[in-house]
Copies of this chain bind each other. A is one copy, B any other.
Amino acid sequence: MRTSQLQTPALVVDAKVLEENLAAMAAALPGPRLRPHIKAHKCTSLARRQVAHGASRFTLATIREVEGMAAAGMGEDLLLANEVVDASRLGKVVAGGARVTVAVDSEATIEAAARGGVREVVIDINVGLPRCGAAPNDAGRLADLARSHGLEVRGVMGYEGHVVGVEDRASRIAQVEPCMELLLSAHAQTGGELISAGGTGTYDINTWANEIQAGSYALMDSAYAKLGLPFGQALHVLATVISVSDGWAVADCGLKSLGMDHGNPTVLGGSIWFCSDEHITFAPDAKVSVGDRDGGARPC
């Protein structure tokens, strides 16, 4: 099938750019240095492309992602880099033969992991992003508590999420080190083989962690595009021009088809005015006609 035959709006992946992104990352972080994050694409067929480029362990954000990757036969080493208060579904995945490690940052989440049948944890450390994660100086106590519940402590994780998007590279470099000093201080208390951290914005900067949890590099997004990284935009929404007026045109793609967390999308070949539920109103750079798709009106 050609893209011209697709019903629109259609979410399309540029396979060539995807492969280039995967190859570039695999060259920079070969084998177990990379633990690709699945949350960005939530797609086992894309994960299989990552396996083809050398990945065998994965990072995940939700229980469902863990279940999906295990069911697809990619459950060799799944790290749920997130806290859960009911780990029973994870326990079923473990019982099914996959290896699942879950992040914990409190007594409640340690108890949930043990109760749910998970056997391995990492202690999640707050390295500066106000989100999940224990205080670094609490890492030893939590590791001991986890072990007292029969859990294997594989090490620590700590996501420098407040740094990965800093546009100036020198600033990113300067800000990662103190975060990772906190993580290493926690790791000194817990032991374990994993020091897991990082993201697409720090994949080549974070040399303290021994595995990098990058995910966005595969498909990229408009925010990371500003950082000058060696990864290209591989994900677009293809739309069709359905109406043309004097000064603007409308394509059949809107809020219901787009992630709006970074604001309005970029329209290739035009300047966006606003999005409605099922429309984008934009000023085209050149004349467009009803029915046009490529060039004039390809929102991404």
**A residues neighboring B (CB under 8 Å):** 7, 39-40, 42, 61-63, 82-86, 105-106, 108-109, 126, 130-133, 161, 240-245, 247-248, 250, 252, 255-256, 259-261, 273, 275-279, 281, 289-291
When distances are taken between beta carbons in the complex, the residues of chain B under 8 Å from A244 are 106
Choose among B109, B275, B290 the residue that contacts A242 (Cβ–Cβ < 8 A): B109
How far, in angstroms, from A260 to B256 measured CA to CA in the complex? 10
How far, in angstroms, from A291 to B109 measured CA to CA in the complex? 9
Known: A106-B290, A260-B260. 11 other contacts (CB 8 A): A7-B86, A39-B256, A82-B278, A82-B279, A85-B240, A108-B291, A126-B245, A130-B247, A132-B242, A161-B276, A255-B259
Residue of B nearest to A246 (CB): B135
Nearest 7 A-B pairs (CB), nearest first? Answer: A108-B290, A132-B243, A83-B242, A260-B261, A61-B278, A255-B261, A260-B260
Tell me how many chains of this kind the complex includes: 2
How far, in angstroms, from A85 to B250 measured CA to CA in the complex? 12
- Assuming the contacts A106-B290, A240-B85, A242-B82, asked whether A278 and B132 have C-beta atoms less than 8 A apart, the reply is no
When distances are taken between beta carbons in the complex, the residues of chain B under 8 Å from A108 are 289-291
The answer to whether A243 and B133 touch across the interface, beta carbons within 8 angstroms, is yes
How far, in angstroms, from A63 to B240 measured CA to CA in the complex? 14
- Assuming the contacts A83-B243, A85-B291, A242-B82, asked whether A131 and B276 have C-beta atoms less than 8 A apart, the reply is yes
Choose among B82, B130, B278 the residue that contacts A62 (Cβ–Cβ < 8 A): B278
The answer to whether B242 and A85 touch across the interface, beta carbons within 8 angstroms, is yes
CB distance from A217 to the nearest CB of B (A): 15
How far, in angstroms, from A5 to B136 measured CA to CA in the complex? 34
The answer to whether A106 and B261 touch across the interface, beta carbons within 8 angstroms, is no
Residue of B nearest to A106 (CB): B290
Choose among B63, B133, B290 the residue that contacts A109 (Cβ–Cβ < 8 A): B290
Residue of B nearest to A83 (CB): B242
The answer to whether B240 and A130 touch across the interface, beta carbons within 8 angstroms, is no
CB distance from A215 to the nearest CB of B (A): 9
When distances are taken between beta carbons in the complex, the residues of chain B under 8 Å from A248 are 130
CB distance from A222 to the nearest CB of B (A): 14
CB distance from A167 to the nearest CB of B (A): 18
CB distance from A118 to the nearest CB of B (A): 15
How far, in angstroms, from A286 to B270 measured CA to CA in the complex? 48
Residue of A126, A242, A255, A281 with highest tally of chain B CB at under 10 A: A242
